Amino acid sequence: MTSDIDIARAIPRAPIAAAAAKLAIPADALIPYGFDKAKITAPFLRSLDDRRDGALVLVTAMNPTPAGEGKTTTTIGLGDALNRIGKRTAICLREPSLGPCFGQKGGATGGGYAQVTPMEDINLHFTGDFHAITAAHNLLAAMVDNHLHWGNAHDIDPRRVVWRRAMDMNDRALREIVTGLGAWGGPAETGFDITVASEVMAIVCLASGIEDLRARLGRIIVAYRRDRSAVTAADIGADGAMTALLKDAILPNLVQTLEGNPAFIHGGPFANIAHGCNSVIATKAALKLADVVVTEAGFGADLGAEKFFDIKCRLAGLAPKACVLVATVRSLKMNGGMAKGDLAREDLAALERGCANLGRHVENLRLFGVPVVIALNHFVADTAAELATVQAYARSLGVEAIVCRHWAEGSAGAEDLARRVAGLIDDDGAHFAPLYGADLPLLEKIETVARRIYRADGVIAEKVVRDRLARWEREGFAALPVCIAKTQYSFTTDPTRLGAPTGHDLRIRDVRLSAGAGFVVAICGDILTMPGLPRSPAAERIGVDADGEIFGLF
């Protein structure tokens, strides 16, 4: 079988300036990173402020399974198809993390004939954004330790340093560590989070420009004094140097699809442990340059779409016009109890049971006032009866499920979906509103998401968690949205409970204040902010041949 990387290499690529020209981006507004990728200059981005916005379309998905859904592939295929039918369209995606690339999930550049290129670069070092974010994060950690070493002028309680370290790799051994062995001041307990879970990553993705970036970095809370007052990155004097490290990372990256259409790939927070969206800067620039912008939110709609609506759209003032919900027959059958090894066999009963997961997501998306269409991402083993079953179920919900074949056919395979999305935009039936108001207490915001999106009976939180939330409200953080970190595989905190379960509670294990990013993180169940590698990591199959070509990445 031809691999994604073979398909990408077989299609000639135009220089990045050609893709930029489709959005009327002049050559002098590009900072080239070789032949086929570039950043957009800050002066050009500022020049766009007075232009009107295009229409924003969100692509989200049912809960992921090992069978695959193809959310990124569908985002790219839809963007290509909208261009194919005459809509000037830009695609906005997140940058892949090295952790899943070498672990289990893989990269985030699409697949088949719906890819962005250069896929090897994008999935590995790209333009260095993740390295800069990691460096800025760890510089702050080093400066906190240095402050303690040289006299502790801010009277930091060493037991209440809350700023951990970060690296963009799955390494379970670093989740909890002890630093300072043999150093002045003695040992201290800390740990590592994966870079995509860093507050610095969230700040880069939510900042509106360089000034806002520095202000947000300065508001990061790194520790607490003995009197329990907060110490920030600005107090430590780290915000300026961190901004210097990130001055290029904050500029959006421009690449292209296999069909030569423009795609902004910028920022990469995970939706199961962070807010899971492409950067505000990239999305807003694309809206000024294109008639339609197609973007994705991470993992299932219960995580990615909810955070896109309640965090990104709320904080950036965005109002999406339509939502595409990606599903596959294979994943629906798994949600209906079918084993992965049996998915090639037709089983309409399992499929019908699994459709409940799809229905739950449709109901949830409608809570935000955005019209929905289902993209039924086609696999070769899908039978006509299975496709018809899903389409009939969708009609019973009052939505349309459109079979899409963009993986095999490129833009031609998603043309029906593109026409339906264009129709939704033209109908202008969106009445977007977040799920909860800013005036609700923090715990009530969590409870609102738990009850209305996850269908939980309630929220379980220890007194220490409730007290911490109450203290943050007293300190002026009551209006912040909440970012719930939980498993992506289920509406519950138990990854084995598939479908559309009810009769469960949301258990909050910990809460973290991301004062710079502007949200409160609720860590639920057994979710980890530093993943581990699987038994057989993808890294074992990746290498470089005698011609210097990477193999095994996909």
Annotated catalytic residues are 71, 73, 94, 105, 271, 299, 379, 407
Beta strand spans in 271-371 (E): 292-296, 322-327
64 upstream amide cis, omega within 30 of 0: no
> For residue 375, what is the enclosing H or E element?
strand 372-377
> What is the per-residue burial (b if ≥16 Cβ within 10 Å, else e) of 225-264?
eeeeebbbbbbbebbebbbebbeebbbbbbbbbbbbbbbb
Q: Which two tokens stand for residue 491?
A: 């509406």
Measure CA 396 to chain center: 30
How far apart are alpha carbons 277 and 311 in whole angstroms? 9
Name the nearest CA neighbour of 470 among 443, 450, 501, 493. Answer: 443
How far apart are alpha carbons 250 and 132 in whole angstroms? 10
How far apart are alpha carbons 435 and 68 in whole angstroms? 28
Beta strand spans in 25-81 (E): 30-32, 38-40, 55-61
Beta strand spans in 489-549 (E): 505-514, 519-524, 543-544
> For residue 428, what is the enclosing H or E element?
none
AA letter at 332: L
Between CA 122 and CA 132, with CA 127 as vertex, the angle to 5 degrees is 120
Calculate helix-pair angle for 239-246, 129-149, nearest 10 degrees.
160
AA letter at 231: V
Q: Around Cβ 396, how many Cβ atoms within 10 Å?
A: 10
Measure CA 316 to chain center: 16
